[in-house]
A and B are shown apart, each in its own frame.
Chain A
Amino acid sequence: MVRDEALQQAMNDYGHYLTRLSYVFVKDFSRAEDIVQNVFIKFYTGYERFEGRSSVKTYLYKMTVNECHNYLKSWAYRKQELTNTFAHAIHKGSPESHLVTKEGNRELAQTLRKLPTKYREVIWLHYYAELSVIEVAEVLDCSKNTVKTRLVRARKQLGKRLVEEGFDGT
């Protein structure tokens, strides 16, 4: 069946990256697995309706980001984020605080951690998922200009130090 093949192809092409992207957002492997499972099941069950509406890549990333946003709206998670805002001295995790911080990457992880969510997500979608500005705009339901502005501001906030570390900010 076409949709069976489409599901296998989608899992082959994007399964790995969607799982890793979800992990970045929700910092919990099990939750990331749940999210990606939901995305692929919805992709499969809604395949007839999906066809031709947008690229598979954009559609899957949009679904994944939406599922992650839903999870991040939960009270428990938001309380944790609030605590971070008021208590940066308390090292309670934003997503990046639970990423691997090998010696060479510690700087990047720490700097990413300080970025507001709206800037972090454009960084991950544009540089990690390698979505174009137009695709990021589609995924986040905002305009191209908004994405561009957020990217510029995010890069600015990431700062000089990362440039010196070899992350060229481009």
Chain B
Amino acid sequence: MEHKHLDELIPEHVTLTDKQRTAIVQKAKNGDLPKQMRTAKMTPIFISAAVISILCFFIFTFLGEIERKETLSDLVEAGIIREIKAEEIPYESKIPSTYITETDELIYVSGSSVFSYEVENKVQRALTDDSTGATSYNIKANANWLVWSNFDNQSLHIMNRQTMAQQVIPDFSFPRVILNDGLASFYNFDDQTFTIMDLETLQMNPVHTVDEMTSTQHFSQDGQLVTMIESYNNGEKRLEFYTHDIQTATVISVATIPFMEAGMWTYENGFIYAEYQAKDGPWKLLRVDLATNEWTILDVPEYSGYAVHGHFLALSGLEDEQSEMALFRMEGDELVKLTTFDAFTDRLVRPRFNEEGMLLVNSEDEAYTMYIVDVNKIDE
């Protein structure tokens, strides 16, 4: 057995990226404690319960399958759920794929090429050739634009999807580019500035310059850019959130909260969400209301992944759910569980919303089916 045989089994994009190196150096120098990994222990009683559950699963598989189909078909008929088999797409490409409502397509990377898969017509086509350096984790797409960073030659590629014309910005080594309509936003490490770029004209517009090197995040939605920085004030570490009007590059509001060790940040409709863990405690969800400067720790069950849109929250990795996924409606600080995923018996993973409220999830069934849940229809 040789190293190269095993190496070929691991997707090429799996490596220590420049973005990750930068984050490590920043956090190491700031003295940040490493993020705690989830280490919930499995007790013997849990093992027994799992064994019994699995045996029951076999006994009732047939009956369960019939019931699942009936219930699923109800949801499909109501237009709440769509099923995407797309067996021609490899699983490792399905997992990080995104769904664009306007064009009803999945965007994914296979090899080093970016592909589009039309959900209704079941047609896939390559949007780029395989020399682009694109990976599943560095592409952003909407109906009109496709943007990706090439870490090999440190460049940013911009494709106008209407004309298929491509432009390349050289010497671009900034991770986490965010796409919002015809604008891309990124954090320029060289001059410590959050910058907006017009994808049509390539004009750069600096929006927010940070005084000192610190950990940052940024988000963009509805003509606004939200930037987050870790700052010190009288020896106290804190988190500051600036909401900017992109058109005028002016600050609309500032929210400040005490520093918390958190990660997996999301911005949604005036609220910031993040995974938060108090010392040795379970993972909870932090929610910051940028309008009122108030923050809340949502009491969620132990989970592994989350996605949020409006007042809907999807959690994966839930012990008590057959599919390990559930959808909740947030009513103030309370979570009300919905029955949307109760019909599923196979494990569901990787919940993610697009801007229109389409929730995309992956199933670990034989075909690695994907499902799109339209949460807007749940409220109707």
On A, residues with C-beta under 8 Å from B are 4, 7-8, 11, 15-16, 18-20, 23-24, 29, 32-38, 40-42, 44-45, 67, 70-71, 73-76, 78-80, 82-83, 86-87, 90-93, 96, 98-102, 105, 108-109, 112, 123-124, 127-128, 130, 155, 158, 162, 167-170
A-B contact pairs, 11 of them (CB 8 A): A11-B21, A19-B20, A24-B10, A34-B263, A37-B27, A37-B35, A67-B37, A75-B46, A99-B9, A100-B10, A155-B1
* Chain B: CB-nearest residue to A23: B14
Residues in chain A near residue B34, CB distance under 8 A: 37-38, 41-42
Whether, in the assembled complex, B51 has its beta carbon less than 8 Å from a beta carbon of chain A, the answer is yes
Contact with A along B14-40 (1 / 0, CB 8 A): 111100110111011101111101111
Residues in chain A near residue B27, CB distance under 8 A: 37, 41
Report the minimum CB–CB distance from B188 to chain A (whole Å). 22
Report the minimum CB–CB distance from A53 to chain B (whole Å). 19
Whether, in the assembled complex, B165 has its beta carbon less than 8 Å from a beta carbon of chain A, the answer is no
Inter-subunit contact A37/B1 (CB<8 Å): no
Most central of A7, A79, A92, A108 by chain B CB within 10 Å: A79
Residues in chain B near residue A38, CB distance under 8 A: 34-35, 37
Most central of A35, A67, A82, A109 by chain B CB within 10 Å: A82
Number of interface residues of B (CB under 8 A): 56
* Chain B: CB-nearest residue to A37: B24
Inter-subunit contact B37/A92 (CB<8 Å): no
> In the complex, which of the residues B16, B35, B137 contacts A34, with contact meaning CB atoms closer than 8 Å?
B35
Residues in chain A near residue B302, CB distance under 8 A: 75
Docked complex Cα distance between A70 and B34 (Å): 14
Residues in chain A near residue B24, CB distance under 8 A: 7, 11, 37, 40-41, 44
* Known contacts A37-B20, A37-B24, A41-B27: A74-B10 contact under CB 8 Å: no
Whether, in the assembled complex, B351 has its beta carbon less than 8 Å from a beta carbon of chain A, the answer is no
* Known contacts A20-B7, A37-B34: A73-B1 contact under CB 8 Å: no
Inter-subunit contact A105/B9 (CB<8 Å): yes
Residues in chain A near residue B17, CB distance under 8 A: 33
Whether, in the assembled complex, B59 has its beta carbon less than 8 Å from a beta carbon of chain A, the answer is no
* Chain B: CB-nearest residue to A36: B16
> In the complex, which of the residues B16, B47, B96 contacts A15, with contact meaning CB atoms closer than 8 Å?
B16
Inter-subunit contact B3/A15 (CB<8 Å): no
* Chain B: CB-nearest residue to A31: B37
Smallest CB-CB A-B distances: 3 pairs: A15-B16, A38-B34, A44-B28
Report the minimum CB–CB distance from A61 to chain B (whole Å). 14
